[in-house]
């Protein structure tokens, strides 16, 4: 499964740690939600980035006290149709201010890239090689959007206000 | 009419290009049918019994003459020369070829039409009163708000993979013609004591195998907060709606399982975080969308009472049609005209390419180039000068869309049923055809308003639960049977019909309906009491006795 991060196909720096395995003293570690929460205290001061895989049916607010020690949050798409992690991503970015890597994993296909990017994801465990290779084209398919989201794009209602210019009451 | 700007046009064009790529990947085998399915569904393409079915969005049921003409061309060029108007104010084509779809979409895009979100687990076409902007006494044109919602929910990155489909309807009149109480979100435009425009918000209505009437979640949400409030509802639903069972995934089940108070509290919590944020609509933004709705510049005309009285006297058929199909307009001298797509013996809601093209011409001549689609599967010319009515009637007669049965027993809402649909248990269209033959125009007029709705399966696309008479096709030992309910309604007093008794076989349905109607004629308090009111007054029992006495 190729990993696309910030638009490039890259190799994954993380080592996945099984729930019953010992925690290595250093290195980039990817942990399950249960393992991470159980070891959060002992991981403070760990030499290397920590990532957590967060299930899509668990309240993302539980992560808030720990966001400062997380370099990566992996959110899950068990099927293409299951969109719960889209809401988790927006909450992490917009409400809880998470600035680390936000990775989409599972049934991640090129047809979701635009949505995922708009919800604040910046890395993708892509299911098919051909989709990973088509990332740049798929991600730039749309040049306009109707609604504001977690990315920098402006919604159409706001865009039209900008186009009308300051003469009609905007900031001078 | 809402007039597209460059942003709207660009987005539609980019969506067509994306879908063209998706179809190409399916045709080349790069995508399996299983992978392609959710992609095609998001653009209105179903796989039916015989072919792909293609549903084109008609936002809040408003069409321009060039748009309707284009739909006629698509029917002619890519389908079998007709289209089917649906209960959600859309149109569907039943015989389209997958390889033709991208070209059909590109042609539709030329006139600002698209198929975005006409299926799939996302926010569907936002529907509204088909008389929006022309009905006397409405708070304001509900389509302004429907358009704001349409834009906000189109290709919404967070809510395109909801637990299940999501339908929003808006009304701005006391009399609810948009059936808001059977929608996932129903919005009733109103003004509060301070004179601010806002909405009573209802949630959790829906039909299908677990029908519910929507409940009020908040009595007043100010217009500026509409998007943030709807966003809060969708976010709660996206996270907590059930995904383990497709039949329990609609928001109505979540509302039912949590209870409306708990659900409302969840939404309120979420909304508090969103209120005042970037989704807040300022006056200028609302005014901007409003300014892009073009309204006719009505030349002032007096009411044409005398002329219409003369025409009625010399032509009784015109008088019948005038009384049945023409409604008062907010503008003196004008009228709202409903075009019945329910002629005797034909599938309800179908229009041929020739009819569509002719209606487009008539709209240009008589209705400021505008047409509406009603959820009852009829069309509307919303701005007709009263003095033109006799001439228009002749033209409508000539193309078969002046059957004077609007709101009568033969104005049947029906799903495509087993003739087309892979989900159906029984046929709907032949039942509708039989009934339109059974009740003559005079018989139907004498019964007054009587809504009869037919669904070919429990998914209830024909809204049988809320028909004054509802007919539901079921399968019994390999044969088509029909359950009959009475007393349902879809308006501001919406309620679900009650089961009459055991299901009856295909060839007895028309007889049973005739018995029901006979019973009503005997039981009603007077000719002014509608069928549904008689049922409400007396209950199901006397009707049941009448129907089953001779059928045990």
Answer yes or no: do A161 and B22 touch at CB < 8 A: no
| Residue showing tokens 């999501």 | B166
Residues of B in contact with A90 (CB under 8 A): 158
Residues of B in contact with A140 (CB under 8 A): none
Answer yes or no: do A160 and B288 touch at CB < 8 A: yes
d(CA B490, CA B500) in angstroms, rounded, equals 19
**Domain annotation covers residue B129:** no
**Domain annotation covers residue A71:** yes
How does the average pLDDT of chain B come out, rounded? Answer: 96
Distance of CA B254 to the CA centre of its chain: 24
Query: Which residues, other chains included, contact B320 with Cβ-Cβ below 8 Å and sequence gap of 6+?
Result: B404, B441, B445
- Examine the pLDDT at A169 and tell me if it is beyond 50: no
Under a CB-based contact definition with an 8 Å cutoff, are residues B336 and B135 in contact?
Answer: yes
In B201-240, the residues whose Cβ lies within 8 Å of chain A are: 235, 238-239
Tell me which residue of B470, B343, B463, B490 sits closest to B405, measured CA to CA.
B343
- Helices B65-78 and B101-110: crossing angle in degrees, nearest 10, is 160
Answer yes or no: do A81 and B121 touch at CB < 8 A: yes
SS3 (DSSP) at B404: coil
Answer yes or no: do A143 and B10 touch at CB < 8 A: yes
**Domain annotation covers residue B147:** yes
Q: pTM here?
A: 0.96
CATH code for position B89: 3.90.480.20
**Domain annotation covers residue B544:** yes
Chains A, B: CB contacts within 8 A come to: 104
Helices (H), B292-388: 305-314, 316-325, 353-366
d(CA B181, CA B188) in angstroms, rounded, equals 10
SS3 (DSSP) at B271: helix
Under a CB-based contact definition with an 8 Å cutoff, are residues B71 and B90 in contact?
Answer: no
Under a CB-based contact definition with an 8 Å cutoff, are residues B231 and B484 in contact?
Answer: no
Tell me which residue of B89, B58, B87 sits closest to B71, measured CA to CA.
B58
d(CA B551, CA B444) in angstroms, rounded, equals 25
Q: Tell me if chain A has a CB within 8 Å of the CB of B37.
A: no
**Domain annotation covers residue B84:** yes
Answer yes or no: do B284 and A161 touch at CB < 8 A: yes
Tell me: do B241 and B338 sit in the same domain: no
Name the domain boundary from B365, B398, B431.
B398
Instruction: Give me the count of residues in chain A.
Output: 172
d(CA B473, CA B428) in angstroms, rounded, equals 7
Tell me: do B176 and B216 sit in the same domain: yes
**Domain annotation covers residue A107:** yes
pLDDT average, residue stretch B256-264: 97
Q: Are strands B498-499 and B479-486 parallel, antiparallel or unpaired?
A: antiparallel
What pLDDT is stored for residue A158 in this prediction?
87
- Helices B251-258 and B260-274: crossing angle in degrees, nearest 10, is 110
CATH code for position A99: 3.20.20
Report CA torsion sign: B348, B354, B358, B363: positive
**What radius of gyration, in Å, describes the C-alpha atoms of chain B?**
23
B237 → chain A, closest CA residue = A84
d(CA A116, CA A109) in angstroms, rounded, equals 10
Q: Tell me if chain A has a CB within 8 Å of the CB of B310.
A: no
The neighbouring-strand residues paired with B505 are: B481
pLDDT tier, A35 (very low <50, low <70, confident <90, very high otherwise): very high
Name the domain boundary from B398, B423, B443.
B398
d(CA B265, CA A14) in angstroms, rounded, equals 40
Residue B67, min C-alpha distance to chain A (Å): 22
B152 → chain A, closest CA residue = A147
Residues of B in contact with A87 (CB under 8 A): 158, 235, 238-239
How many domains, chain B? Answer: 4
Q: Tell me if chain A has a CB within 8 Å of the CB of B139.
A: no
B17 → chain A, closest CA residue = A141
- Examine the pLDDT at A167 and tell me if it is beyond 60: no
Q: Are strands A123-125 and A101-106 parallel, antiparallel or unpaired?
A: parallel
CB neighbours (10 Å) of residue B175? Answer: 12
pLDDT tier, A172 (very low <50, low <70, confident <90, very high otherwise): very low
B235 → chain A, closest CA residue = A87
Residues of A in contact with B238 (CB under 8 A): 83-84, 86-87
Under a CB-based contact definition with an 8 Å cutoff, are residues A104 and A83 in contact?
Answer: no
Q: Tell me if chain A has a CB within 8 Å of the CB of B284.
A: yes
Name the domain boundary from B223, B257, B291.
B291
A151 → chain B, closest CA residue = B157
ipTM here: 0.95
DSSP assignment of B475-537: EETTEEEEEEEES-B-STT-B--EE-SS-EEGGGHHHHHHHHHHHHHHH-SSTTS-HHHHHHH
- Examine the pLDDT at A11 and tell me if it is beyond 90: yes
Q: Tell me if chain B has a CB within 8 Å of the CB of A147.
A: yes
Percentage of chain B beyond pLDDT 90 is 96
Answer yes or no: do A157 and B285 touch at CB < 8 A: yes
- Examine the pLDDT at B453 and tell me if it is beyond 80: yes
Distance of CA B422 to the CA centre of its chain: 21
**Domain annotation covers residue B284:** yes
| Residue showing tokens 């809204």 | B463
SS3 (DSSP) at B95: strand
d(CA A147, CA A138) in angstroms, rounded, equals 19
**Domain annotation covers residue B76:** yes
A138 → chain B, closest CA residue = B18
Phi, then psi, of B491 in degrees rounded to 5 = -90, -155
Tell me: do B106 and B12 sit in the same domain: yes
How many domains, chain A? Answer: 1
pLDDT tens per residue across span B77-120: 999 999 999 999 999 999 999 999 999 999 999 999 999 999 99
**Domain annotation covers residue A34:** yes
| Residue showing tokens 């949505």 | A115
Answer yes or no: do B159 and A161 touch at CB < 8 A: no
Residues of A in contact with B35 (CB under 8 A): 80, 109
Structural domain that includes position B417? 413-548
> Could you tell me the two tokens for A58?
């668990």
**Domain annotation covers residue B1:** no
Residues of B in contact with A156 (CB under 8 A): 7-8, 11, 151
pLDDT tens per residue across span B326-358: 999 999 999 999 999 999 999 999 999 999 999
Residues of B in contact with A81 (CB under 8 A): 38, 121, 161
d(CA A25, CA A47) in angstroms, rounded, equals 7
pLDDT average, residue stretch A13-25: 94
DSSP assignment of B309-320: HHHHHH-HHHHH
**Domain annotation covers residue B423:** yes
- Examine the pLDDT at B377 and tell me if it is beyond 60: yes
CB-based burial label for B3 (10 Å; 0-12, 13-18, 19+): exposed
pLDDT average, residue stretch B148-170: 97
Residue ranges with strand state E in B355-493? 370-373, 379-385, 413-414, 452-455, 469-476, 479-486
Q: Tell me if chain B has a CB within 8 Å of the CB of A140.
A: no
Residues of B in contact with A169 (CB under 8 A): 284
Tell me which residue of B482, B460, B415 sits closest to B209, measured CA to CA.
B460
Under a CB-based contact definition with an 8 Å cutoff, are residues B63 and B69 in contact?
Answer: no
> Could you tell me the two tokens for B302?
């007096």
* Closest residue to B162, CB basis, from A83, A118, A119: A83
Residue A15, min C-alpha distance to chain B (Å): 29
Tell me: do B334 and B393 sit in the same domain: yes
DSSP H/E element including B219:
strand B215-222
pLDDT tens per residue across span B282-309: 999 999 999 999 999 999 999 999 999 9
Residues of B in contact with A143 (CB under 8 A): 10, 14
DSSP H/E element including A168:
none
**Domain annotation covers residue A27:** yes
| Residue showing tokens 């008689």 | B534
Phi, then psi, of B33 in degrees rounded to 5 = -60, -35
Under a CB-based contact definition with an 8 Å cutoff, are residues B96 and B103 in contact?
Answer: no
Residue A27, min C-alpha distance to chain B (Å): 34
- Examine the pLDDT at B207 and tell me if it is beyond 90: yes
Answer yes or no: do A83 and B161 touch at CB < 8 A: yes
Instruction: Give me the count of residues in chain B.
Output: 552
What pLDDT is stored for residue A166 in this prediction?
59
More reliable by pLDDT, B52 or B162: B162
What pLDDT is stored for residue A170 in this prediction?
37
Q: Tell me if chain B has a CB within 8 Å of the CB of A80.
A: yes
Structural domain that includes position A18? 3-166
CATH code for position B532: 3.30.413.10
What pLDDT is stored for residue A152 in this prediction?
87
Residue A7, min C-alpha distance to chain B (Å): 19
Residue B540, min C-alpha distance to chain A (Å): 43
């Amino acid at each position: 499964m190729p990993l696309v991060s910030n638009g490039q196909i890259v190799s994954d720096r993380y080592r996945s740690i099984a729930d019953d395995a010992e925690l290595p003293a250093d290195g980039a570690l990817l942990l399950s939600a249960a393992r991470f929460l159980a070891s959060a205290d002992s991981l403070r001061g760990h030499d290397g980035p920590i990532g957590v895989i967060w299930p899509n049916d668990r309240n993302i607010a539980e992560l808030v006290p720990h966001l400062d020690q997380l370099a990566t949050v992996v959110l899950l798409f068990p099927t293409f149709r299951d969109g719960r992690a889209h809401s988790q991503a927006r909450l992490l970015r917009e409400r809880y201010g998470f600035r680390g890597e936000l990775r989409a994993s599972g049934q991640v296909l090129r047809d979701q890239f635009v949505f995922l990017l708009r919800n604040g994801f910046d890395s993708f465990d892509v299911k098919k090689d051909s989709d990973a290779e088509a990332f740049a084209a798929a991600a730039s398919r749309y040049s306009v959007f109707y609604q504001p989201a977690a990315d920098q794009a402006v919604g159409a209602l706001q865009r039209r206000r900008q186009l009308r210019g300051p003469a009609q009451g905007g900031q001078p | 009419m809402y007039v597209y700007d460059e942003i709207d046009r660009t987005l539609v064009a980019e969506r067509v290009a994306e879908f063209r790529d998706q179809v190409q990947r399916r045709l080349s085998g790069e995508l399996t049918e299983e992978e392609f399915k959710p992609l095609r569904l998001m653009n209105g393409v179903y796989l039916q019994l015989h072919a792909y079915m293609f549903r084109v969005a008609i936002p809040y049921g408003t069409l321009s003459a060039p748009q309707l003409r284009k739909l006629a061309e698509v029917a002619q060029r890519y389908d079998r020369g007709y289209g089917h108007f649906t209960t959600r104010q859309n149109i569907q084509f039943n015989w389209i070829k997958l390889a033709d779809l991208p070209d059909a979409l590109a042609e539709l895009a030329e006139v600002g039409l698209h198929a975005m979100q006409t299926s799939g687990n996302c926010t569907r076409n936002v529907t509204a009163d088909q008389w929006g902007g022309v009905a006397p006494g409405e708070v304001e044109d509900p389509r302004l708000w429907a358009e704001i919602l349409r834009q906000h929910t189109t290709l919404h990155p967070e809510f395109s993979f909801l637990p299940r489909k999501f339908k929003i309807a808006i009304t701005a009149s006391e009399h609810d013609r948009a059936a808001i109480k059977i929608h996932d979100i129903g919005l009733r435009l109103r003004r509060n004591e301070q004179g601010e425009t806002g909405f009573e918000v209802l949630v959790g209505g829906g039909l299908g195998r677990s029908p519910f009437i929507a409940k009020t979640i908040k009595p007043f949400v100010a217009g500026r907060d509409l998007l943030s409030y709807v966003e809060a509802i969708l976010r709660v639903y996206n996270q907590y709606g059930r995904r383990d069972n497709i039949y329990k995934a609609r928001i109505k089940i979540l509302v039912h399982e949590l209870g409306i108070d708990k659900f409302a509290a969840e939404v309120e919590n979420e909304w508090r975080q969103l209120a005042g944020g970037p989704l807040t609509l300022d006056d200028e933004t609302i005014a901007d969308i409003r300014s892009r709705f073009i309204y006719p510049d009505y030349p002032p005309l007096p009411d044409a009472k005398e002329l219409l009285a003369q025409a009625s006297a010399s032509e009784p058929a015109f008088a019948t049609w005038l009384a049945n199909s023409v409604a008062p307009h907010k503008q003196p001298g004008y009228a709202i005209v409903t075009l019945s797509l329910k002629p005797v013996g034909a599938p309800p809601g179908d229009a041929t390419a020739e009819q569509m093209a002719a209606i487009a011409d008539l709209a240009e001549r008589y209705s400021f180039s505008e047409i509406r689609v009603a959820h009852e599967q009829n069309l509307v010319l919303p701005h007709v000068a009263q003095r033109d009515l006799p001439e228009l009637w002749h033209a409508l007669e000539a193309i078969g869309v002046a059957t004077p049965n609007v709101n009568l027993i033969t104005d049947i809402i029906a799903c495509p049923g087993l003739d087309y649909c892979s989900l159906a248990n029984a046929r709907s269209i032949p039942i509708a055809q039989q009934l339109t033959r059974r009740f003559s125009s005079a018989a139907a007029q004498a019964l007054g308003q009587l809504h009869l709705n037919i669904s070919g399966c429990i998914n209830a696309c024909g809204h049988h639960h809320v028909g004054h008479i509802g007919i539901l096709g079921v399968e019994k030992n390999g044969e088509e049977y029909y359950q009959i309910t009475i007393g349902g309604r879809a308006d501001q007093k919406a309620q679900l019909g009650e089961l009459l008794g055991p299901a009856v076989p295909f060839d007895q349905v028309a007889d049973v309906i005739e018995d029901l109607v006979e019973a009503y004629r005997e039981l009603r308090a007077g000719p002014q009491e509608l069928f549904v009111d008689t049922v409400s007054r007396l209950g199901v029992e006397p009707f049941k006795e009448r129907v089953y006495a001779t059928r045990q």
